[in-house]
Structure formats: structure tokens, C-alpha cells
Amino acid sequence: MTVAATDSYPIQVATKEQLKEALSIRVSVFVNIQKFPLEKEVDEYDSNALHMVMLEPVLDDRVVGTLRIINEGEVVRIGRIVLLPEYQFKGLGTKLLLHAEAHIANSPVYNQGLVTKLLSQCEKQAFYEKCGYKAIGDVFQYCAIVDMSPDIYPIHPASEAELKEAVKIRIHVFVDIQKFPLEEEVDKYDKSALHIVMLDPAQNNKVIGTLRVINTGTAAKIGRVVILPEYQGKGLGRRLLEYTEKYIANCEQFKQCAETKLGSQYDKRKFYEKCGYMARGDIYDELGCPHIWMHKTIDRISS
């Protein structure tokens, strides 16, 4: 699906019918995908909260994003911020949040409110910091997340059929969502590269993540690292990378390689730093997106 510019999506206070759609999105993302308990998702605050929705005009004003606002007197709490997976990474979350803040600032209902606050999942903290929020207090566990252990997703070198699925995932994320050109996505290196895939056994071993490795002689170059949007945020990307690094360390094909390296999108570099990679060199442009080279020494002792 091609997602239009952020200005194409109107935002408004939810009608009764739109609220039903908004709740369906919340259940789909927070319960079905992120595995939070249903009884925690729809709670006693929903009946008194103000609910805002983002609409898709070309799909009959379908609700594609939502949040709720709770008036606590001197504090206005924003929560349940969510976009459908296929509409993420396009600046729509920022637009939704800014619209809510403007509504709060200009509504007499919130004239006592001195500050907005929200509870962020730790992995989403950077997004809210970019929107002007600051973290206060210690990290805490809101509720247990169940049935999403990374260990339930097998990883191995791709078969021919799995490679076809992997390429479809790459096109969906890098071309359809991130808008990189199709002709650059599938290139001359794909035929000779090692392709690794992650599967979901509960979905008939559907491919949900992939990456490729190119042997440059001195380095194993990792690229096209991608997890389907609905599986992101659960440590699966890190596990896919760790598996690949161990595979490289023990594979005869890469015995001459001293390091793994990758060209990271600049805004994704923090993820790779957490995985032990170090940035090297200057930021460079690749297809209109800032990138930076990141390197990690191959550990053949512990592998």
C-alpha cells in the first residue's frame, strides 16, 4: 500500500462509530501483536476519556490511528497512542500527538492542565523525546508480556521458496513503507549473498524477518535487515542479528573475514550500537536517506 503525505490524514475527536474502530485497532496492535492482556487494554478510563482518531480519506475515512486524553486536573495524560502497522514510520504518529497537544492547549476543558504526560514503552522513548518529552523516574513494568519469547521463532539460511517470501518482505518494508526505489532493492548481490530468515511456526512457518550477508573478503557485510512491522519491538531483530553473527563466525565461507559491517540508516544506529556495533566514518547519503557505516569484530572464541 502506498501511504500518502502526512497532511492527507485528517484528525478529529472520535464519533461513537469511530471509537469502535479505534478500539479495534488498539486490540489488534496492543493485544494481538504486542500481547498485552485484553483486560488491561480496555479499562475504566475509556468511558470518560477524550478519544482522537486519524482517518484515511481514500478508504472511506477508515480509522488508521488513535489516542486518548485523560484530564487529571493539573496534568493531562495522553495514552493508547497507536497507528496501524502499515501507516507507521511516516511521521503520522508525530502529527497525531501534536494535534492532541494543540487540542489540549486550546480547549477550556483543560485550562488547569500545566503539563501533558504519558507512559512510554522503553523502546519508544526516543520517539517521544523527539516530540519534546523528557523521561522522569525509573523504568518500570506496566504488565507482563506473554507468548512472545524470541526463542519460539526459528532462524536458518533461506530455502529457495523462503527467499521469495523474504524478498516480498523487503519490498513491503523498504519500498512500500519507506519509499526506497524498487529497482535498488533487488540488486546484483542477491544471487550470491547468504540469506537468513526468521519464521513464525504459528503461521505455517511464514517468513517474518530476513537479512543478507555478502562476503567482501575482509568483512561479512550484513544488509537488508528487516522484520515485519507487526513483529517489531520484541527483540526479534537483535536475535536475527546474533544468529547471523554466530553463523558467520563458524562458517568456512567467511573464515577470512575479520569483522561484520553494515550500512545503517542513521536513525537506526542506536539499535546496532546496542548490538555491539561501532560507527565509523562520516554520515553518507544513500537514496536520499542518511546512513553510516557500523563495524563489529567477529568473535570466533565464544561462538
CATH 3.40.1010.20 fits 6-130, yes or no: no
Q: Encode pLDDT of 182-195 as tens digits.
A: 888 888 999 999 99
Which residue in this structure is represented by grid cell 523527539?
130
Instruction: For the chain, give the DSSP string.
Output: -----GGGS-EEE--HHHHHHHHHHHIIIIIIIT---HHHHS-TTTTTSEEEEEEEGGGTTEEEEEEEEEE-SSEEEEEEEEE-GGG-SSSHHHHHHHHHHHHHHH-GGGTT--EEE----GGGHHHHHHTT----S-----S---S--GGGS-EEE--HHHHHHHHHHHIIIIIIIT---HHHHS-TTTTTSEEEEEEEGGGTTEEEEEEEEEE-SSEEEEEEEEE-GGGTTSSHHHHHHHHHHHHHHT-GGGTT--EEEEEEEGGGHHHHHHTT-EEEEEEEEETTEEEEEEEEE--TTT-
What is the C-alpha end-to-end distance of the chain, expressed in Å? 41
Domain boundaries, the chain: 6-130, 150-297
> How is the beta sheet containing 278-286 ordered, strand by strand?
155-157, 194-200, 206-215, 219-227, 259-265, 289-297, 278-286
pTM exceeds 0.75: no
Close Cβ partners of 112 (under 8 Å, ≥ 6 residues apart): 73, 74
Q: Could you name the CATH architecture of 150-297?
A: 3-Layer(aba) Sandwich (3.40)
Closest CA to 254 of 283, 222, 292, 225: 222
Cβ–Cβ contacts within 10 Å for residue 132, how many?
10
6-130 and 150-297 share one fold: yes
Q: Encode pLDDT of 74-113 as tens digits.
A: 788 899 999 998 888 888 999 999 898 888 888 888 765 5
152, pLDDT greater than 90: no
**Does 265 or 3 have the greater pLDDT score?**
265
**Res 84: pLDDT:** 92
How large is the average pLDDT for residues 42-65? 92
Average pLDDT, the chain: 86
**Res 227: pLDDT:** 94
Cell of 70: 485523560
